[in-house]
Amino acid sequence: MRTRYFIAILLAPWLLTAALANPYETTLSNGLRVIVKEDRRAPTAVQMVWYRIGSMDEVDGASGVAHVLEHMMFKGTPSVGAGEFNQRVAAAGGRDNAFTSRDYTAYFQQVPKEKLEEMMQLEADRMRHLNVDAKEFAQEIKVVMEERRLRTDDNPQAKLFEQMNAVAFQAHPYRRPIIGWMNDLETMTAADAKAWYDTWYVPNNATLILTGDIDHQHAFALAEKYYGVLDSRPLPARKPLAEPPQEGMRRVNVKAPAELPVLIMGFKAPILRDVDKDSDPYALEMLSAVLDGHDAARFNKHLVREQKVALSVGISYDATARGPGMIYLHGSPAEGRTVAELEAALRGEIARVQKEGVSLPELKRAKAQLLASQVYKLDSMFGQAMEIGQTEAVGISYRKLDRILEKLQKVSASDVQAVASKYFGDDTLTVGVLDPQPLDGKPRRPAIATRH
Amino acid sequence: MKKLLTATCAILLTQSVLAGVKIEHWISPSGARVYFVESRVLPILDVQVDFAAGSMFDPAGKSGLAALTRSTLDLGAGNRDESAIAEQLADVGANLGGGADTDRASVALRTLSARDKRDPALDILRNVIQRPKFAAAVVEREQGRTISALKDAMTRPEAIAGKAFWAALYPAHPYGQQATPESLSALSRDDLQAFHARYYTANNANITLVGDLSRSEAEKIAESLVAHLAVGEPAALPPPPATAPGATVKLAHPASQAHISIGMAAIERGDPDFFPLTVGNYTLGGGGFVSRLMKEVRDKRGYAYSVYSYFAPLRHNGPFQIGLQTKRSQAAEAIKLARDVLDGFIKEGPSEEELAAAKANLTGSFPLRLDSNAKILANVSLIGFYSLPLDYLDHYQAKVQAVSAEDVKQAFARHLRPAELITVTVAAD
């Protein structure tokens, strides 16, 4: 109730009127879902196609294939030559790219609104007609290996995170890196990528999202024209994949050239499955905001500024995903302080919430920030399309976004205290430590003390 | 002929849309230059205050002073300590950001435009700009954190390459002088206060306001942001950088990829060659997935994930840079290839087809540069800070259209001399 009241006075009247029906939604007969959010502020438009297929759908020995296929999607169809997709988008004055996550793979273009139809034609074409050419594959797989070197192999923090997930998850495919293990990339073939495409790239496994200066009826008609002609095909059954309960603390150390140690503490955490019935994920979101929502939130205030035990510190929690969840506390110790001291300090902050709870002003502040961020989000058409896509990709309707905000606004101080007590036990904890090594390979000062 | 007409119409059409982005400009009574774009669609106000107070004004031996001054500016001001500032901003849902680069130091506020949110947020912004405390304990702590972060950055190949590149391009100029643990350790609270007093002045300020606000409110707010600052003098620029001789800098590192930068000091902000260089660079390495560098280095050979080139105009000659990363054993081939592509382009310029593609993208994508308040703020603050013409955006597409292949060739010849190119590699075999 309170949410609606605030939004009513904040937003311009025309937005309110539009909000009654906007976004608009339809489903084509081939199963493609189409969601259109009209936003007439500027003469531009965004198209996104989200496939409900990500690295979690891969199998051992073929890690990285979802992402490699994303690269191959720019390599042409019978009617669009290799590289021509990017040329056509560029010629239209557009920008395009794609991204692969554990849960989904998505493609987008931002264009002047007159060019949207051409983008829809192009994107629909590669949904079912991709060439996976062996020669193009041979070049592109090298590019992906360079991407892995850049983003993971030479990035100590990313390497630590990769190793940590490989330890925190044992059965669930979240244990594999999205970009794939180097060995799997080295042995991957064009046929692997083609099989992936043939299995998963069908309209009934996709959501088309359009935002910007467009009329939804017209957009639906264009979707029917270009995407409606594509055949659907039954998808392979996807069995539920559960990670067995963790029954004891796990630790992983990674050595890499660096100056500063890094500590990541990852606890198994709940994921939002039922927007109406669930409550813990909302409380964990608010706990995160109270601990790390601004520069004077508890983590920064206590650990960086007052105790000076951390150089930097943060918390990371994503309440939505197809697979299991984690909440991460992370940071680097301040000069002269150890990883063990930082770990103890982070545990101390959680313990304080467990014992004393959080104050009403802290909670109110977190909610005010949340409310403002909902308004700021309207400044980006791309951001609005992203929000719809990410929500839908994990199996939650975008129509529930308002309800999620309402539930967040209703979280109480005792809810926050309860989740702090429930989810930060040692038995579901995985601790990752980056043990920094000198660049020249020669031993530095005595190794950073860590708790073993 | 038909094609030409279509292109012309497209320009007219876009310009009529852009009539919505109307920049109002005035000088505040205290002497700050003010730029205002009224946009009532969303209940948001953005205010950015830019001072000519970037690292180019670091005194000799005090590298890092401009950055540390800016980063401690909002950690206590007026009667608020650092916690009160952060908490009160959060209470009204406002965000305070900004930073310092070589030329400018920026303080940027995004707030809801409702008075009960906006007014407290603006009061904090006013105090941060005019009455920073630079409390000794805070300065000392941030000094230590900055040193630690710098030491860590100096273990990463991309940071090592970036610093070596700037040092080689600007050997005896503030652009090439960079903070070291030693220079940072030597800074004192007095240095920060003196730097603030000298450079954070009304005459040295550009204020940009975008959003849900009337002109008369904008006038009041702008003046209130600088009214208690010293009027001051516009910052005196250091002399322009001397030409650096061509060089090759090779630094060892255990990474699996070599980080490669090739470039030289090339262009000042406001130089009329900006348009031919921008159009030409689109073909060379600026045009995302369709540039020559991308095709040769990535698509044909799989040498790199990321390869690009750009011109970064600054107050003084800013850099031209080609950047890429490739596995260390093939660094030499990748450098040779990138140089061949560059040399070929300098010699021949773009083909007519490439030129048309560059213009189509740069003019066609223009609406995407202005489709949010955040983007309008970035464009208008840049126009203000570098004193570009107020109708810069209105003529952007026409200036791009007017560029010929010969213009590109001549501009590249004027600004890039292959013998003066500097190549920096980190972690190459």
* Percentage of residues in chain B having pLDDT higher than 70: 95
Same-domain status, A288 and A180: no
d(C-alpha A274, C-alpha A253), whole Å: 36
Chain A CA closest to residue B40: A12
Closest Cα of chain B to A149: distance in Å? 7
Query: Do B302 and A95 count as a contact with CB atoms less than 8 A apart?
Result: no
Instruction: Show me where the domains of chain B are located.
Output: 22-226, 248-426
Fold classification of B248-426 (topology level): Cytochrome Bc1 Complex; Chain A, domain 1 (3.30.830)
Same-domain status, A204 and A255: no
Query: Do B289 and A86 count as a contact with CB atoms less than 8 A apart?
Result: yes
Same-domain status, A291 and A189: no
Structure tokens at B221: 């707010």
A346-351: long-range contacts at Cβ-Cβ below 8 A with a sequence spacing of 24 or more?
A346/A263, A346/A265, A346/A299, A346/A303, A346/A313, A347/A424, A349/A291, A349/A298, A349/A299, A349/A302, A349/A303, A350/A420, A350/A424
Residue A178, domain member (yes or no): yes
Same-domain status, A116 and A163: yes
To the nearest whole number, what is the mean pLDDT of chain B?
94
Which residues does chain A have within 8 Å of residue B353's beta carbon, measured at their own beta carbons? none
d(C-alpha A392, C-alpha A90), whole Å: 29
Query: Do B144 and A436 count as a contact with CB atoms less than 8 A apart?
Result: no
The CATH code of the domain at B22-226 is 3.30.830.10
Query: Do A142 and B290 count as a contact with CB atoms less than 8 A apart?
Result: no
Which of A57, A82, A179 has its CA nearest to residue A132?
A82
Same-domain status, A146 and A262: no
Residue A382, domain member (yes or no): yes
Structure-model confidence comparison of residues A4 and B170, the more confident one = B170
Structure tokens at B294: 């991308």
pLDDT < 70: residue spans in chain A: 1-20, 443-452
- The pLDDT tens digits of the residues spanning B342-394 come to 999 999 999 999 999 999 999 999 999 999 999 999 999 999 999 999 999 99
- Flag whether pLDDT at B20 surpasses 60: no
Mutate to test the interface with B, among A73, A137, A295 (most CBs of B within 10 A): A295
Q: Find the CB nearest A365 among B90, B156, B304.
A: B90
pTM: 0.93
Peptide bond into A23 cis (omega under 30): yes
Same-domain status, A205 and A333: no
pLDDT band at B125 (very low <50, low <70, confident <90, very high): very high
User: Would B22-226 and B248-426 be classified into the same CATH topology?
Assistant: yes
Same-domain status, A301 and A161: no
Query: Do B151 and A143 count as a contact with CB atoms less than 8 A apart?
Result: no
Query: Do A260 and B82 count as a contact with CB atoms less than 8 A apart?
Result: no
- The pLDDT tens digits of the residues spanning A100-156 come to 999 999 999 999 999 999 999 999 999 999 999 999 999 999 999 999 999 999 999
Which residues does chain A have within 8 Å of residue B367's beta carbon, measured at their own beta carbons? 42-44, 93, 112
Give every CB contact of residue A325 below 8 A, 6+ residues apart in sequence.
A268, A269, A270, A271, A281, A317, A318, A319
Q: Is B236 on the interface with A (CB under 8 A)?
A: no
End-to-end CA distance of chain B: 54
pLDDT band at B21 (very low <50, low <70, confident <90, very high): confident
Same-domain status, A107 and A205: yes
Helices (H), A357-400: 360-376, 381-393
User: What is the ipTM, given to two decimal places?
Assistant: 0.92
Residue A115, domain member (yes or no): yes
Q: What angle do CA A118, A123, A128 make, to 5 degrees?
A: 135
d(C-alpha B302, C-alpha B296), whole Å: 9
Same-domain status, A379 and A316: yes
Give every CB contact of residue B327 below 8 A, 6+ residues apart in sequence.
A145, A146, A149, B256, B257, B258
Grouping H, G, I as helix, E, B as strand and the rest as coil, residue A262 is strand
Distances (CA, A) of A269 to A291, A401, A411, B282: 16, 21, 17, 46
Q: What is the dihedral of CA A432, A438, A442, A446, to 10 degrees?
A: -60
Same-domain status, A295 and A384: yes
Instruction: Tell me which residue range forms the domain holding A363.
Output: 250-437
What's the CATH code of the domain at A345? Answer: 3.30.830.10
Q: What angle do CA A344, A348, A352 make, to 5 degrees?
A: 175
Q: Which residue has the tokens 């309207």?
A: A378
- Flag whether pLDDT at B10 surpasses 50: no
Same-domain status, A160 and A86: yes
Domain count for chain A, please give it: 2
Alpha-carbon dihedral sign for residues A52, A54, A56, A57: positive
Q: Which of A70, A123, A285, A362 is catalytic?
A: A70
Residue A243, domain member (yes or no): no
Q: Find the CB nearest A259 among B86, B155, B363.
A: B155
Same-domain status, A205 and A276: no
d(C-alpha B288, C-alpha A74), whole Å: 13
d(C-alpha A61, C-alpha A186), whole Å: 10
Alpha-carbon dihedral sign for residues A19, A21, A39, B95: positive
Q: Is A5 on the interface with B (CB under 8 A)?
A: no
Helices (H), B260-391: 274-281, 292-293, 331-348, 352-364, 373-385
Q: Is A135 on the interface with B (CB under 8 A)?
A: no
Alpha-carbon dihedral sign for residues B154, B159, B163, B165: positive
Q: How many CB pairs under 8 A join A and B?
A: 205
pLDDT band at B235 (very low <50, low <70, confident <90, very high): confident
Residue A452, domain member (yes or no): no
Determine the length of chain A.
452
**Max CA pair span of chain A:** 68
Whether residue A247 lies in the annotated active site: no
Q: Find the CB nearest A140 among B302, B304, B363.
A: B302
- The pLDDT tens digits of the residues spanning A293-339 come to 999 999 999 999 999 999 999 999 999 999 999 999 999 999 999 99
- Helix axes B274-281 and B405-415, enclosed angle (nearest 10): 100
Q: Is B325 on the interface with A (CB under 8 A)?
A: yes
Q: Find the CB nearest A372 among B14, B93, B147.
A: B93
pLDDT of residue A20: 52
